[in-house]
Chain A
Amino acid sequence: MSATIQHVSVVVRLMCSTRGGLVALLVLVNTLPMVAMPMFARGRDGWFAGGFTVDAFALSVLFVPVCRWALGSCLGHRRAQTSAALLPLSPRQRAVAEAIGMLVAIAVPMAVISAPLAAIVGISPASVVFWRSIGTLLCVQAAMALPHLILASFDREATYSHRLWIRWLAGPTLTALCLSIPAMQSFFGYVAVGVLVAAAALVWGPVAWLAGQPRPRRVFIAPTESPARKGASDPVAMLSRDFRRGLGYGAARGVIWSLALVCPLVVFRWWRFPELAAAGAIVIAATIAGRYPLGLSPRVVGVHWVNNGDFGRAWSTLPIPASAVARAVYLHIALCSAVVLAVCIAVLAAAGPATTTAGLVVMVAGLALVGIRTHNAVGSVRAWQWSWVVGAASIGCVWLARVGLDPSRHTTIAAGMVAVAVLGAVAVCLSPAHLVRSPQA
């Protein structure tokens, strides 16, 4: 027990003291209330009113990578980077400790931040309404995040890494239960569902029968070469072929995933606006497509330590200029992100000011992801700096738009932000030499 408590305190301390942990905390503190807020009753301050919607479904699916990344940021993303997996704790103990640690780390700053914000809107931080709202929000968030946190913890156990697909089921399962069973629309019902799903994940997660069966040993077959790849005399031409193939492969994979995620919504008619379901499907497809530059996962293996730019390093001894690889990665991610951003603008233009904030936030995330992804893949310091500049500028634009401008002009601002991103992409692609990590002098 003392080891579990010790691990909780370590997680809290790491979340609050490491750069990755603080960024993760910032993301979670911002995203969790976005999902939970619509569940409050209008006109009844601080009361939970159910109202679990399609938006919550989409965002609860987004929790999966956010939670996983948050845990990885403070404890290490892979087994090779962390000694957490070697601690004298069982996987279940460790999962519970990490989930509790994360929730504590999220709850405290959220309560601290909420007090001055409540005072601004005229609610006294000492009032019952304030504490009831905060308490309800935290309970709802904890119920929502708990299954994801537990699965995220199991993810980092190399032993269970072959059944990662299970984590994607937690969000939809939780949502489907809440949408289907009327009793779950109450506060206690909702919290009960969250805790039960988390408990199910905790109990069944490390059980062998959930694991994928090991593949049967195949008869040895030498890898055959496709006619397209045979005897490529021009490696750069092959790279551009792989670039196009990567776009097609990523798009196909994205479409399959988006259909899998959106189909339940369509089949059970859980949407209010069919256009939003279509837009969501395109956004999911493009986001997933963006994860496979050149048709490959940017995740590489076999290095003793993991640095940003390992994907680029994996190409380093092939007969292709590093700048060509960097440019291909950047273009791939920029193209996929452009689709996401274009859809967001279209939704924004069609739906009007009501969805302005959510749309702009999604765009900010999209723009920043272009830079972060590229940085991760090819180790481009410029892309990293660019993503922070664009992200910060975009957040500034969002706040300026919200505070000082007429809602009808928000779409114009959004279009301007996309134009900045596209111009940036063009500028970077025209000077690829600056994108790559140059050989050390």
Chain B
Amino acid sequence: MTDETLVQVTDLRVARGGFALHIPKWTVEPGCVVGVVGPNGSGKTTLLDCLAGLIRPAHGRVRVLGRDPIADPAFVRSRAGFMSDERPLFDLNVGKLLQTLSGYYATWDAELVAHLLVRFAVDPAARVRELSKGQGTCVRVIAALAFRPAVVVLDEPGTGLDLGARQALLHSVLEIARDPVRSVIISSHQLTDLERITDALLVLRAGKVVAQGATDSVVPEGQSLQEALLQLRASGAEMSA
């Protein structure tokens, strides 16, 4: 772990009803794409919400860019972009929505926004409520990338995206990853896409870390990510038995 570590999670414990998430230790270094994978209900969104400061951990330490997202949300959110498919959007047209958001970020890049609108083929004159599910996801991704955040956290960004939009998303993520001081954390069920772009993986199951580390170390030679996850799942089931 270095001083430049973008995300640092230590002994994180979150309890939500009957569900408990426990992450003993997890870090995200600059210049990489980290995938968070696992079955439904494994705690991916809970972990990402902790990074955004939307959930207060019961125990443990979360640091994003060296700050506690609960104690210093303004600092963290002005430097880290969070995208979730379930985050509501204001009922404006897309251009107006992005313009409204622009005022809250010192680093908002209008040129980048224009570029992303073209890349994701989103009409800035369209009303947000008239957008399809996939187009809404694109707008959320654009809003999360528009201020060139140091950390981009994408929760299920592939939901509802067509082939073109998925390519655009992968393109944007890889562009960020090429920057040595920025990182992307991405949670998704699109395992093929994840395998192509991630440098490291965090595999969760029922709130526990099943595997973590460089993608090459989690996915054995000659296997796909899907096969590796199925294998991990089977070994976990054996262990519980």
Interface residues of A (CB under 8 A from B): 215, 217-218, 220-226, 228-233, 235-236, 238-239, 241-242, 296-297, 299-304, 310-311, 313-314, 316-322, 438-441
Contact = CB atoms under 8 A, between A and B. Distances in A.
A243 to B, nearest CB: 12
| B interface residue count range (under 10 / 10 to 19 / 20 to 34 / 35 or more) | 35 or more
Given A232-B103, A235-B74, A242-B103, A314 B90 contact: yes
A313 B55 contact: no
Contacts, number: 136
B88 interface: yes
A441 B57 CA distance: 6
A235 B104 contact: yes
A314 B54 CA distance: 12
A311 B113 CA distance: 23
A303 B106 contact: no
Given A220-B118, A223-B99, A314 B108 contact: no
A239 B117 CA distance: 25
A226 B100 CA distance: 10
Interface string B98-111: 11111111101011
A297 B90 contact: yes
Given A221-B124, A318-B77, A301 B99 contact: no
B92 A229 contact: no
Interface in B32-69: 52-56, 58
Contacts of A318: 77, 101, 104
Interface of B: 15-16, 52-56, 58, 70, 73-78, 81-82, 84, 86-92, 94-96, 98-106, 108, 110-111, 113-114, 117-118, 123-125, 128-129, 131, 136, 140, 144
Contact of B88 (A311, A321, A439, A441): A311
Given A222-B110, A301-B88, A317 B77 contact: yes
Contacts of B54: 316-317, 439
A322 B70 CA distance: 11
Contact of A316 (B52, B103, B111): B52
Nearest to B103: A229
Nearest to A317: B82
Given A222-B110, A235-B104, A439 B128 contact: no
